[in-house]
Chain A
Amino acid sequence: MKLNYIILLFITVLAACDEPVTLDPKQVDPVIVIEGLITDRETYQYVRVTETVDFYAEGGSRPITDAEVSVVDNEGNQFIFEHNPREIERLDGYYLSENPFSGKVGNTYSLSVSYSGQQYQATDQLLRVAPIDSLEVIINEDEFADPDDPNYYYEVLFYATEPQETDDYYLFKFYRNDTLILESENDIYFSDDEVLAEQIDGLPTAGFYKQGDVAVVEMYSLTNNAFVYYNDLINLLENDGGMFGSPPVNPRNNLSNGAMGYFQTSAVASDTVMIK
């Protein structure tokens, strides 16, 4: 809700201030975090397994390197995942499929992870994605007049046709020369098709480009469960403990046994345009 910003704006007029604090830490056990992604692209698919750390601790999620990970589809095909086969340190916690494979639209995939005597399961359906019709490059007048970054005043608009007879959900990723673009660091771009409407006509994408850049737009199909998960994530980021926002709740996901994260299967539509 926008209201907290309004209130903040008002109260900063007064002698408002903030400073870091540490609430008395409560020692809690780590919880397993599993994030998997199976797409319809022929590639080494991945599952990442980590565990939570204390809120005020330093460092990121701790990788779990000795879990057993496998995926089975509704046709009975089984895919075994191996931990960091090339032993690259920064990929600790990542499990890659033994062989490259592509997910099939309409199939259901079930993940099972076994770690430290516990079993974790998740199921997701790989839904079709609406194809991207085209990308258009325009000059954004406002940015042109007063660019935040010099020369970055090109904007990419995207066009697609969305089948409205089904309820569909999409996740978007925008890249500038292979780098993910985020207008602010906690952004996740996703939507239901009610907001998008049937004819997606020149929907602006995130960020601005300069001449010579390569822009890539990726559109991932999501199930309703995944949409709920991303929605919950957004609500959680920068929560104020329930003062002006609703009390934070852990994101709802498709994993069993209290695991965090999400097992996502998506069809991907992608288009590339050169800025010139």
Chain B
Amino acid sequence: MNFKAICFVLLAAFAISPSLAQNKYTLNGYIKDASNGEALIGATLLVKELTTGTSANIYGFYSITLPAGDYTIEYRYIGYETVIETISLDANQKLDVELQTESQELDEVVITGESEDANISEIQMSAEKLDIKTIEKIPAFLGEVDVIKSIQLIPGVSSVGEGSSGFNVRGGGVGQNLVLLDDAPVYNSSHLFGFFSVFNPDAVKDVNLIKGAIPANYGGRISSILDVRMKEGNMKEKEISGGIGTVFSRLAVQGPIKKDKASFIVAGRRSYIDILAKPFVDNDATLYFYDLTTKVNYKLNDNNRFFLSGYFGRDVFKFDERQGFDWGNVTGTLRWNHLFNDRLFSNFAFIVSSFDYGFSFGENDRDKFDWSSRILTYTFKPYFNYFIDTNNELLIGGEATYYDFKPAEAVGVSDGVTQDISLNEKFALESAVYVDNTQKLSDRLSVRYGLRFSAFQYFGPANKYEFRTVEPGERKELVNAEPFDEREVIKSYTNLEPRASLRYKLNNSSSIKASYTRTAQYIHLVSNTAASTPIDLWTPSTNNIKPQTGDQYTLGYFRNFGKGNDYEASIEGYYRDTDNQVDYVKGADIFINEFIEGDLISGVGRAYGLEFSFKKNVGKINGWLSYTIGKSELKTPGINRGDWYSTRFDQTHNLKLFGETQLSKRTSFSANFTYLTGAPITAPTSRFNVQGLVIPYNYYDSRNNFRIPASHRLDIALKWDPTRPGKKKKNEDYFVFSIYNVYGNKNPFSLFFAQQDGRAVAGEAIDTFAYQFAIIGAPVPAISYNFKF
């Protein structure tokens, strides 16, 4: 084990300790929203006299160490009034600051929750922060605001089709994204087969998508990190908000339990198509989902704060009383923020997360089939944030996750005879330690570098299966099964994952950024289909399935224009090389297959592209334009004759345009337009007839040899506040009228191949057709009412 190497790195990192010159003192505290006490993640502070500064971490905590003296300090956060404090620093000092939201939101629209010049000054590239205010402005499908749908407007992010679940980042798979909700991994982020996501916008504070330059404190997936942070709950006063929409209704209650000491938030949603459809459906068929997102926090004292958050959600789809399908996530996170001293902030998180689904078929007890599957994980994450000096900020931490996979618990009853075809559980431990330092080398050059060491153990009780490759691309043949005892390690893997990024400011309005990221992924989302579905299966690395690894290189140029950074522009290029990407043998059987490892093969992948982004942050009309040109390919022995082939997420062109304008004090209008290259599919080139059947034939046995046609769509939304002008009111309420797919474009979702009706008669001609299937082939209007009081 490379333990020595790690110790060395840790020591080296600590060696960049502050020059222990005399008369240096630390100023620290929290930056919060004055109206509700919510931490402002990434709020900045600027020391005027020294033109230096720092920013608040994900808990709103900041710490800066300065020579003794008098300072003017500006606390800033976009969309909030800047607070200027003058302090005499002659001892360590604690200063919590509360910022007020800007009073008139008329011509100031929040695009990002960062400082004005974050685009050029932040080291982080390939990342996008969206705060919930921005997400709420994007015209949404059926008027329902959605986090996952919103991030699909970010350059480099796509999905395989309208309404499909999950998202693809820079040509990566859905299972290559790490989705975190308050530090808890979410193993399936969709409701209603992907039309909506599990994140309740009423409870979400901040969404951060990291597509590249992934810092060392994140790991475990090779494509991206989606870090969703929940609101803590209003510390100042009770607040009730909610909405009545076309598909579901929401209600959130938050408020102080003890003012400025403890608060809570409870947010729930329930869809009601089933209730509306009830009179028209004669059996017990139903389709609905609900979720509950809740969080409490308690500030014990200045140095200790506790957060407990939980998510419980479920989708239920029943054909009748006995038959149906359901799935859901449960996550729980207990976090303890502890301040060791003025400069050492820590957090300890204890996390449990599970995702499960179940099927029931069969009309009676003599003939039925029940099948369920589950992944359950426990994670412990210590995290130390050490504000060494104004030039160095260190992160040190670790992560340990225990996995319990239950691939299938399946019992079939046929004519009263019960057959149990359940599969064995699988167990694994994934752990990591990391160190990461953000260092300001000069006014122009800042770097962030880190190292993550990750390890994975696949252990018993389980059988170690050994397979023989008969022919690449064909099912591997089982040659040996060796039983292993409880906790006995069957296979272990380790990876060193270096990360580095730098930012060089060319001048006050432009910078160049570059990064290198190596990531390892030990659990795999097994899905033999392009569309992600709830029954996709997570499976660990084993002696047969190696961990996926990825190396990503990015280079970008960032430029702001106009006074006050009114316009932001950037161009970023990325290249990612991946190893041991999971693919499937021909005719792979991935459900209820004890020997699934024999059906999985691995290949190499490469994805590259250019992302352009242009944002207008102020003015009467504002918004953004993003365009990505990219390619994503795989090469797997035995598939596509061993040649490179497009992945199912390969998208050549991806154009998104979002605009918003305030029409009057009471109405605002927003629109977005998207244009996407169609997803690759495997389609027949020819056909033949045998035994009266028409059989499609693929000439080269090639994979993803065709593309479905490109899709484009315009959505609009009008937000209207019914309050009469001049009438002052405490409550806030508004209507949103939206039209999705305004000009009713029939965007193809997938293709089906069919033949003319009737069976072929020997010697008689029969024709075959391809049909393109559009999920939403018409404009979809919606209205929703939202309130807060």
State whether B648 touches A17 (Cβ < 8 A): no
Say whether B481 faces chain A, with CB atoms less than 8 Å apart.
Answer: no
Kindly list chain B residues whose C-beta atoms are within 8 Å of the C-beta of A215: none
Q: Which residue of B533, B690, B693, B708 has the most chain A CB atoms within 10 A of its CB atom?
A: B690
Please pick, from A1, A23, A54, A185, the residue contacting B706 in the complex, using a CB distance under 8 A.
Answer: A23
Which chain B residue shows the least CB distance to A21? Answer: B772
Say whether B187 faces chain A, with CB atoms less than 8 Å apart.
Answer: no
Please pick, from B586, B688, B767, the residue contacting A61 in the complex, using a CB distance under 8 A.
Answer: B688
CA distance A52 to B529 in the complex (A): 27
State whether A241 touches B751 (Cβ < 8 A): yes
Say whether A13 faces chain B, with CB atoms less than 8 Å apart.
Answer: yes
State whether A16 touches B774 (Cβ < 8 A): yes
Which chain A residue shows the least CB distance to B192? Answer: A10
State whether A55 touches B685 (Cβ < 8 A): yes
Say whether A15 faces chain B, with CB atoms less than 8 Å apart.
Answer: yes
State whether A28 touches B688 (Cβ < 8 A): no
State whether B317 touches A10 (Cβ < 8 A): yes
Interface string of B746-764 (1 = CB under 8 A from A): 1011111110011110111
* Shortest 3 CB-CB contacts between residues of A and residues of B: A241-B681, A90-B763, A243-B750
A16-B750 in contact given A244-B533, A251-B695 (Cβ < 8 Å): no
A250-B698 in contact given A16-B777, A55-B684, A90-B762 (Cβ < 8 Å): yes
Say whether A85 faces chain B, with CB atoms less than 8 Å apart.
Answer: no
State whether B771 touches A6 (Cβ < 8 A): no
Query: CB within 8 Å of A: which residues of B?
Result: 160-161, 163, 192-193, 273, 287, 317, 325, 361, 415, 417, 474, 528-531, 533, 535, 584, 586-588, 590-591, 648, 681-701, 703-709, 746, 748-754, 757-760, 762-778, 780
State whether A260 touches B682 (Cβ < 8 A): no
Say how far B313's CB is from chain A's closest CB, in angstroms.
17
Say whether A235 faces chain B, with CB atoms less than 8 Å apart.
Answer: yes
- List A245-276 residues whose CB lies under 8 Å from chain B: 245-252, 260-262
Kindly list chain B residues whose C-beta atoms are within 8 Å of the C-beta of A231: 587
Query: CB within 8 Å of B: which residues of A?
Result: 1-3, 6-7, 10-11, 13-24, 26, 28-31, 33, 35, 48, 50-56, 58-61, 89-92, 180, 182, 185-186, 188, 197, 201, 228, 231-233, 235-252, 260-262
Kindly list chain A residues whose C-beta atoms are within 8 Å of the C-beta of B759: 182, 185
CA distance A87 to B682 in the complex (A): 40
State whether B530 touches A249 (Cβ < 8 A): no
Interchain Cβ contacts under 8 Å between A and B, 16 examples: A3-B325, A10-B193, A18-B771, A21-B751, A26-B699, A31-B699, A35-B691, A55-B684, A55-B770, A56-B770, A59-B767, A185-B759, A237-B695, A243-B531, A246-B584, A262-B690
Q: Which residue of A35, A52, A89, A90 has the most chain B CB atoms within 10 A of its CB atom?
A: A52
State whether B686 touches A53 (Cβ < 8 A): yes
Which chain A residue shows the least CB distance to B359? Answer: A2
State whether B648 touches A54 (Cβ < 8 A): no
State whether B161 touches A243 (Cβ < 8 A): yes
- Tally the A-B contacts, defined by beta carbons under 8 Å: 227
Apart from A52-B688, A61-B687, A244-B533, list 12 A-B contacts with CB within 8 A. Answer: A18-B752, A18-B773, A20-B771, A28-B699, A90-B762, A180-B692, A238-B754, A240-B773, A241-B682, A243-B530, A243-B749, A248-B698
> Which secondary structure characterizes the binding site on chain B?
loop
Kindly list chain A residues whose C-beta atoms are within 8 Å of the C-beta of B757: 185
Kindly list chain A residues whose C-beta atoms are within 8 Å of the C-beta of B699: 26, 28-29, 31
Kindly list chain A residues whose C-beta atoms are within 8 Å of the C-beta of B590: 246
Kindly list chain A residues whose C-beta atoms are within 8 Å of the C-beta of B774: 16-19
State whether B586 touches A252 (Cβ < 8 A): yes
State whether A6 touches B683 (Cβ < 8 A): no
A20-B684 in contact given A7-B193, A90-B763, A188-B693 (Cβ < 8 Å): no
Kindly list chain A residues whose C-beta atoms are within 8 Å of the C-beta of B588: 246
Say how far B67's CB is from chain A's closest CB, in angstroms.
63
Kindly list chain A residues whose C-beta atoms are within 8 Å of the C-beta of B273: 13
CA distance A251 to B691 in the complex (A): 14
Kindly list chain A residues whose C-beta atoms are within 8 Å of the C-beta of B325: 3, 6
Please pick, from B584, B687, B692, the residue contacting A53 in the complex, using a CB distance under 8 A.
Answer: B687
State whether A247 touches B763 (Cβ < 8 A): no
Which chain A residue shows the least CB distance to B686? Answer: A52
State whether A238 touches B753 (Cβ < 8 A): yes
A6-B317 in contact given A20-B769, A242-B648, A249-B587 (Cβ < 8 Å): yes
State whether B686 touches A28 (Cβ < 8 A): yes
Q: Which residue of B192, B528, B584, B586 has the most chain A CB atoms within 10 A of its CB atom?
A: B586
Kindly list chain A residues whose C-beta atoms are within 8 Å of the C-beta of B769: 20, 56
State whether B535 touches A17 (Cβ < 8 A): no
A52-B687 in contact given A241-B750, A246-B587 (Cβ < 8 Å): yes
CA distance A20 to B273 in the complex (A): 30
Say how far B689's CB is from chain A's closest CB, in angstroms.
5
CA distance A7 to B773 in the complex (A): 13
State whether B695 touches A247 (Cβ < 8 A): no
State whether B697 touches A260 (Cβ < 8 A): yes
Kindly list chain A residues whose C-beta atoms are within 8 Å of the C-beta of B586: 249, 252
Kindly list chain A residues whose C-beta atoms are within 8 Å of the C-beta of B415: 201
State whether B587 touches A185 (Cβ < 8 A): no
State whether A17 touches B746 (Cβ < 8 A): yes
State whether A15 touches B767 (Cβ < 8 A): no
Please pick, from B686, B709, B768, B772, the residue contacting A31 in the complex, using a CB distance under 8 A.
Answer: B686
